[in-house]
A and B are shown apart, each in its own frame.
Chain A
Amino acid sequence: MSVLLEVVDVVKTYTVGTVAVEALRGVNLSVEPGEMVAVMGPSGCGKSSLMHVLGAMTRPTSGRVLIDGVNVAEMGDGARTAFRRDKVGFVFQKFNLLPTLTARANVELARRIHGSHRDPEADERVEQVLDLLRIRDLMDRRPVELSGGEQQRVAIARAVVKHPSLILADEPTGNLDSKNSEIVLNMFRELNRRMAQTIIIVTHNPDLASRVDRVIEMMDGRIVRDGRRAPAEIAESARRAGQ
């Protein structure tokens, strides 16, 4: 099996004032294309730091982060920016849609930054994504006119339309009620199943564990458990998600 993402001995240390805080203390991880992975753990365990390192938002203090065979850890700011543009889609807890733009403009902005806004094939993908996320009728509204669940679905569309290698979702259900959390999690599952989209979700939500291929647990900046589920169990989850 090929490897999409390989993390080797990654350490991330932040300096807060005069105090050095080790957020990641030697993380090793590999993710295959098409996997849907949940990263769980208590607050402050290093989940978000791992997410930022995987998404080329910041450089690790040491170690290697290989995505599609490219070591992100050695890249400068410009290369990491281009890498985020081409390879990574982010979904945030607070949705982070641009409030002054309509849902459609938010999605189009991602395509424009990516450079795929004039690509007819990409247009078809956008149509598929809007249908899959069931937001076609919401696209002319501004974020303030959408519910939290709707905003998050638009944010997912924004992350997905550029066809990234990797979707990174940081507490995507953290600001949603249980019903909308359920909808959003199902959407992730659908994206993963129908479009073979690789997805890594950082979450506190225990319900998610039953919907992903693999659960990674972190504690004090280290991975303490990495559990894959059986294929039959995954298929059953997918079936339930599709209902």
Chain B
Amino acid sequence: MNREIIVSNFARRPVRTGVSIVAVATEVALILLIVGLVVGINTETGERTAGVGADIMFQPPGASVFLGLNSAVMPVEVGDLLAGVDGVEAVAPIVTQFNTQGGFDVVYGIEPQSFDAVSGGFRFIEGRMFQSPEEIVIDDLYAEAKGLGVGDGLVLLNHSFTVAGVVDNGKGARLYLDLAAAQEMSGNPGNVSLFFVRLDDADAVYAMQETLEERFLTYHAVPMRDLVSIMANTSLPALDAFLTLVVAVAVTIGALVIFLSMYTTISERTREIGILRSMGASKGFVVALVLQETVWLCLAGVVLGLAASFAIVAAVPSFFPTLQLMITGEWIVRAGLLAVASGLVGAVYPSIRAAGQDPVEALAYE
């Protein structure tokens, strides 16, 4: 019976119902897409870094697994010490640079020979490896996103480069330039950001991690096979605060829209509530009716929000090839619960106001 009342009310006020559902859907989509963007970037970056093919990422003290955030450096000679450890097959020094010109990209400064030894080498789609500090190699997704090909110019980190080659994506960065050039640009000649280490026996990675961290106290040896999960679970204070803020704004908007929607509907239905009260409907009955209506609105909004989010996720690669959005089951549940909870919070006052109406006055309402 309550469902019949609720459904008939929705049908009687289609615009209000539609706007409320769209508002909740927007709340859900906003949460899922913002979180999905962060999770997607983290995961994709982790997968790409792990895709280098190394067994261990060796970093100086204080370094983050988020390579774009690192200012920590170490002497390139550390690589020689690493190469001398039993069980190490190859070592590749890397300088990471974070480019914000025309996007947000991590740039690797590499030595082609050592990088090939660790990673197994690039597969060139066109062109070749850079042969001077003014040349750069880019991956296919970056080339597609920016409309670049071999021979095209590219301004990066306030320097002009020419694209020498386009390679398959998935080897750490999307942009690769000469190690010495990168050291020069970062003002750290003779220093590197990290080393990728390849082992003779990949299964000995955890033993090697222990060995390296004992030998190089305060340095970090990160097993690459764990990198994706480490990055997904590593919190960044500013990013966490940003996400919390976005979720809070979305939830507040959802609650306010539902509040307004239910407040107006309660005002419109004052006489109906008076009728219910005159028939002996308790305050609890009226509150439950309003809250049930809210839950149905929110559930419809959640479904629409999910559909919209998945549609956007499916459409994004066509417009932004380097962008990866990842909607996780955990956040689907969280966004759904937040949407329903915010709706219920927004509906509490209107429902209590409805239930508290004097039946005589409510029946006299025109």
- A-side residues, CB < 8 A to B, are 52, 55, 57-58, 77-78, 81-86, 88, 90, 92, 96-101, 105, 108-110, 112-114, 117, 158
Q: B320 an interface residue at 8 Å Cβ cutoff?
A: no
Chain B residues whose C-beta falls within 8 Å of the C-beta of A52 in the assembled complex: 360
Chain A residues whose C-beta falls within 8 Å of the C-beta of B41 in the assembled complex: none
Docked complex Cα distance between A158 and B280 (Å): 12
Question: Provided the pairs A57-B360, A58-B360, A113-B285 are in contact, do residues A98 and B5 lie with their beta carbons within 8 angstroms?
Answer: yes
20 extra A-B contacts, CB within 8 A, seeds A88-B280, A109-B1? A57-B278, A57-B359, A77-B283, A78-B282, A82-B280, A84-B280, A90-B279, A92-B363, A96-B271, A96-B274, A96-B275, A96-B363, A98-B275, A100-B5, A105-B4, A108-B1, A109-B279, A110-B279, A112-B1, A114-B280
Docked complex Cα distance between A90 and B4 (Å): 23
- For chain B, what secondary structure do more than half of its interface residues adopt (helix, strand, loop), or is it mixed? helix
In the complex, the chain A residue whose C-beta lies closest to that of B4 is A105
Question: Number of residues in B with C-beta < 8 Å to the partner?
Answer: 24
Shortest CB distance A181–B (Å): 21
- Most chain A beta-carbon contacts within 10 A, residue among B11, B282, B283: B282
A-B contact count (CB 8 A): 69
In the complex, the chain A residue whose C-beta lies closest to that of B278 is A90
In the complex, per-residue mask of B334-366: 1 if CB is within 8 Å of any chain A CB, else 0: 000000000000000000000000111001000
Chain A residues whose C-beta falls within 8 Å of the C-beta of B277 in the assembled complex: 81, 84
Shortest CB distance A17–B (Å): 15
- Most chain A beta-carbon contacts within 10 A, residue among B277, B279, B359, B363: B279
Shortest CB distance A88–B (Å): 8
Docked complex Cα distance between A85 and B279 (Å): 6
Q: For chain B residues 266-304, which have a beta carbon within 8 Å of chain A?
A: 271-272, 274-283, 285
Chain A residues whose C-beta falls within 8 Å of the C-beta of B358 in the assembled complex: 58
Shortest CB distance B357–A (Å): 11
Docked complex Cα distance between A100 and B276 (Å): 13
Let me know if A85 and B5 touch, CB within 8 A: no
Let me know if B280 and A86 touch, CB within 8 A: yes
Chain A residues whose C-beta falls within 8 Å of the C-beta of B159 in the assembled complex: none
Partner of A81, one of B12, B271, B272, B282: B282
Q: B328 an interface residue at 8 Å Cβ cutoff?
A: no
Let me know if A55 and B278 touch, CB within 8 A: yes
Let me know if B8 and A113 touch, CB within 8 A: no
Shortest CB distance A206–B (Å): 25
Shortest CB distance A154–B (Å): 13
Q: B234 an interface residue at 8 Å Cβ cutoff?
A: no
Chain B residues whose C-beta falls within 8 Å of the C-beta of A98 in the assembled complex: 5, 272, 275
Sorted nearest first, the 4 A-B pairs with minimum C-beta distance are A85-B280, A100-B8, A84-B280, A96-B275
Chain A residues whose C-beta falls within 8 Å of the C-beta of B4 in the assembled complex: 101, 105
